[in-house]
Amino acid sequence: MNRNNHSKHIALKQVKINDSFWNNICETVRNNVIPYQYLALQDKIEDAEKSYCIDNFIKAANVVSNLNNGIEVETYPVDKWYYDEKNADEKAFHGWVFQDSDVYKWIEAVGYSLQNHPDKALEAKAREYIDIICSAQLENGYLDTLYIINNRHKTFSNLKDFHELYCFGHLVEGAVSFYEATGDKKLFDAAVRFADLICDTFGKDKINGYPGHEIAELALVKLYEKTKQIKYLETASFFIEERGKTPFYFDKEQGTKTDGSSYKYNQAHMPVKMQKEALGHAVRGVYLYSAMADIAKYNNDAQLLAACKNIWNNIVNKKMYITGGIGATAEGEAFSFDYDLPNDLAYCETCASIGLIFFAQRMSELEINSQYSDIIERALYNTVLASMAEDGKSFFYVNPLEVLPIASREDSRKKHIKTVRQKWFNCACCPPNLARLVSSIGKYIYSENDNIIFVNQYIGSEIKNDKAEIKMVSDYIESGEIELHIKPKKAFTLALRIPAWCSEYEISYTDKIRNGYAFINITNDICITAAFNPKIKMIRCSNMVKYNIGKIAVTRGPIVFCIEEADNGKNLHLLKLCDKPNFIYHNGIILANGYREKADDYLYQDYKADEYEECTIKFIPYYKWANRKENEMSVYVRIK
């Protein structure tokens, strides 16, 4: 591993965003999504599915108070993934076993938001939740409302299914974010206490288990980065090293003896260093792979890095939608087999694409290669942005590439394909995940090492650090034009990502091109301009993906486009693009020449050529779909 190739993203606090495309989205998250989710966590959104999240913390705080006062505490079973009015005692825990994580993710988003947009009222709301959370923590540092409410004697007895280490991970991430924003250590200290308990509990000669749903690993690395306490890195490494070893810890825990194949779901079917294929639950997968990249870096572990690369290549070459969606199958919210990327059955969970961004960023910090930021861009501008309505008040959990409303109604194989965004979800992992990602978007723009500042995403912004002051003015999405006004404090190298989609570009000055970056030695104040021509393209998906044969997708710059019934009428599958479609782009919309096939009168007839009439096909960005009404949508279009 070549440490010279390592880099680190420039901290969020140092990045001030001012971008024609992103300002609006960031404001929507700040002004609408975060306040909306504050209410959702307390079940104050009308007609939305229930969260129970804050309610559980209040119940748990009550348990803790009773314990402190020597009042006897009832117990309830911990035997299901989901609890509600129908299957649980009123006084017991409600919601999914990972319900706590929603408030942690919200606090994380708030923390990111506060770093560049101080807001006393919002800070107070977060503190209100932090107070409730901290009052629910047990004396020994343990903090998971499911077990505290239902049965604190059973903690860590079912790591495979019951998510307390997952909630811990999100607690740490939320706590670090809020601490970095405000300097307030209350939640951070609570997280450290729980982390210390976990480090005391798991490891060599202790419990040799690991999380069923990964994230604690990368959270512990964050805590290590923040505190420099080696035990957090060691426990994270232990979780990674131990995972998938035989005899399987999950077997031991469950009192069974299996061949481990069912643990593919948890990426725990074999030691992680032997894994070459992205398998199982997609979000778990990318959280694990992110942590593997972290540990590879800190432990200088070339084998672990090789495993990360194998898995990365498997994802981006065989298991990723053009939208950056991953996890093709609803069963287990999981990766399917190579090239199985159906458009109309796709799962493409929002969280999975966010996790892919986490993985990509860590890989990008391990080696100089623009592909990682290319994939971040793909996932971000397409799946992630599509998951939120324009008003920030409804969300997609699942992000299909083809929608036929009747199929979602009538075909139970497609019941996971929602045709309109939902106000909330009883399993609400995605909206707060989106909020934390968009609030921290500044982290993905720049990275640096000793000599180089990398520009990875072209989002208008300013940074100031010991190397330089840089102001980036970006019209990346519309014209592809960028200006970088640079005032160096010392000589350094600027590295501009050349987007993979871009075959025609001009950069006002370049010293060399390597690994997808244009390197420019900066010694004096300078304005570098770049123009990445966002030409409209027809993209061919590999013919190994049988669903897309004979079809193309239309892209412009990083944006994947789609067709909707609202613009093109019903039966989108009858449309066909001309092979020279004379694309016209105007105001975010693409018009193209095409044909509409006449619907056949007979179910079966002798082969004949298609009958069609000429028509104009209208494309809109995929991330804007389903903002009008329920209707058909398709990313891929047939081509003549």
Extract the runs of DSSP E, i.e. beta strands, from 42-165.
82-83, 95-96
545 near a copy of itself (CB under 8 A):
yes
Looking at beta carbons only, is 283 or 320 nearer to a copy of itself? 320
Select from 2, 261, 412, 524 the one that contacts a copy of itself (CB under 8 A): 412
**Region near a copy of itself per CB under 8 A, out of 1-9, 46-54, 268-276, 333-341:** 333-341
The tokens of 321 are what? 């939608």
Q: Among 460, 526, 452, which Cα is nearest to 496's?
A: 452
List 71, 230, 513, 544, residue binding a copy of itself (CB under 8 A) = 544
Q: Tell me which stretch binds a copy of itself (CB under 8 A): 218-226, 315-323, 444-452, 462-470.
A: 315-323
CB of 377 to a copy of itself, least distance (A): 13
Long-range contacts of 188-194 (CB under 8 A, 24+ apart): 190/133, 190/134, 190/137, 190/141, 190/143, 191/223, 192/223, 192/227, 193/137, 193/141, 193/143, 194/137, 194/141, 194/142, 194/143, 194/168
Query: Minimum Å distance from CB 371 to a copy of itself?
Result: 12
Residue type, 16: K
> If binding is defined by CB under 8 A, does position 406 make contact with a copy of itself?
yes
- Is 602 among the residues that bind a copy of itself (CB under 8 A)? yes
Place of tokens 């047990």: 138
For a copy of itself, give the closer residue by CB, 207 or 538: 538
Tell me which of 4, 157, 258, 571 binds a copy of itself, using CB under 8 A. Answer: 571
- Which residue's entry shows tokens 């506060």? 114
256 belongs to the binding site for a copy of itself (CB under 8 A): no
Cα separation, 199 vs 487, whole angstroms: 45
**471-495 in b/e burial notation, b at 16+ Cβ within 10 A?**
bbbbbbbeebbbebebebeeebbbb
Sequence-ordered list of residues with C-beta below 8 angstroms from that of 259, at least 6 positions apart, any chain: none
**Position among 1, 11, 39, 407 found at the interface with a copy of itself (CB under 8 A):** 407
Considering the complex, what minimum distance in angstroms separates the CB of residue 573 from a copy of itself?
4
Binder among 92, 311, 574, 592 for a copy of itself (CB under 8 A): 574
- Record the tokens describing residue 51, joined without a space: 């969260």
**Which phi and psi (to 5°) does residue 388 adopt?**
-120, 140
When binding is defined by CB under 8 A, the residue of 337, 451, 506, 514 that contacts a copy of itself is: 337
| Cα-based angle 579, 583, 588 (whole degrees, multiple of 5) | 140
CA distance 638 to 640: 7
Interacting residue with a copy of itself among 552, 563, 592, 617 (CB under 8 A): 552
Residues 633 and 344: beta-carbon distance below 8 Å? no
> How near is the Cβ of 608 to a copy of itself at its closest, in Å?
6
Selected from 59, 318, 418, 497, the binder of a copy of itself by CB under 8 A is: 318
Residue from the set 47, 523, 599, 613 that interacts with a copy of itself by CB under 8 A = 599
Distance CA 303, CA 520 (A): 33
Among 49-57, 281-289, 410-418, 422-430, the segment contacting a copy of itself (CB under 8 A): 410-418
Task: Determine which residue in the list 49, 253, 597, 630 makes contact with a copy of itself, applying CB under 8 A.
Answer: 597
Stretch that binds a copy of itself, among 78-86, 123-131, 332-340, 359-367 (CB under 8 A): 332-340
CB of 565 to a copy of itself, least distance (A): 14
Nearest distance, CB of residue 454 and a copy of itself, angstroms: 24
**Contact with a copy of itself (CB under 8 A) among 512, 540, 628, 629:** 540
Cis before 558 (ω within 30): no
Task: State how far the alpha carbon of 580 is from the alpha carbons of 538, 554, 576, 583, in Å.
Answer: 10, 13, 11, 8
Residue pair 161/212 in contact (Cβ under 8 Å)? The answer is: yes
Q: 87, 487, 543, 629: which one contacts a copy of itself (CB under 8 A)?
A: 543
Could you say whether residue 258 binds a copy of itself (CB under 8 A)?
A: no
Q: Which residue has the tokens 């398709």?
A: 634
Count of Cβ atoms closer than 10 Å to residue 326 Cβ: 31
Q: Is residue 550 within the footprint of a copy of itself (CB under 8 A)? A: yes
Asked if 542 is part of the footprint of a copy of itself (rule: CB under 8 A), the reply reads: yes
Using the rule CB under 8 A, which residue among 204, 608, 613, 614 binds a copy of itself? 608
CA–CA separation, 35 vs 42, rounded Å?
A: 11
CB of 500 to a copy of itself, least distance (A): 9
* Member of 58, 122, 538, 578 binding a copy of itself (CB under 8 A): 538
C-alpha distances (whole Å) from 495 to each of 362, 456, 492, 617 are 18, 8, 10, 39
Kindly state the smallest distance separating residue 615's Cβ from a copy of itself, in Å: 15
Name the one residue in this structure whose structure tokens are 């979800």.
Answer: 425
Among 33, 195, 320, 620, binds a copy of itself (CB under 8 A): 320
Q: Please tell me whether residue 278 binds a copy of itself under the rule CB under 8 A.
A: no
- Distance separating alpha carbons of residues 109 and 105, to the nearest angstrom: 6
For residues 393 and 302, give the distance between their C-alpha atoms in angstroms, rounded to a whole number: 44
Q: Is 604 in the site for a copy of itself (CB under 8 A)?
A: yes
Backbone angles phi, psi at 242, to 5 degrees: -80, -30
Interface with a copy of itself: number of residues (CB under 8 A): 50
Side-chain-side CA neighbours of residue 398 (13 Å): 26
329 lies in the site for a copy of itself, by CB under 8 A: yes
Q: 546 to each of 377, 399, 419, 537, how far by Cα in Å? A: 26, 20, 24, 21
Q: Using CB under 8 A, which of 411, 450, 506, 525 touches a copy of itself?
A: 411
Segment near a copy of itself (CB under 8 A), from 159-167, 230-238, 329-337, 509-517? 329-337
CB 322 within 8 A of CB 541: yes
Binding to a copy of itself (CB under 8 A) within 349-378 occurs at none
Does residue 413 touch a copy of itself according to CB under 8 A? yes
Question: Could you list the residues that contact a copy of itself (CB under 8 A)?
Answer: 316-318, 320, 322, 329-332, 336-337, 340, 345, 406-407, 410-413, 503, 537-546, 549-550, 552, 571, 573-574, 597, 599-608, 610, 638-639
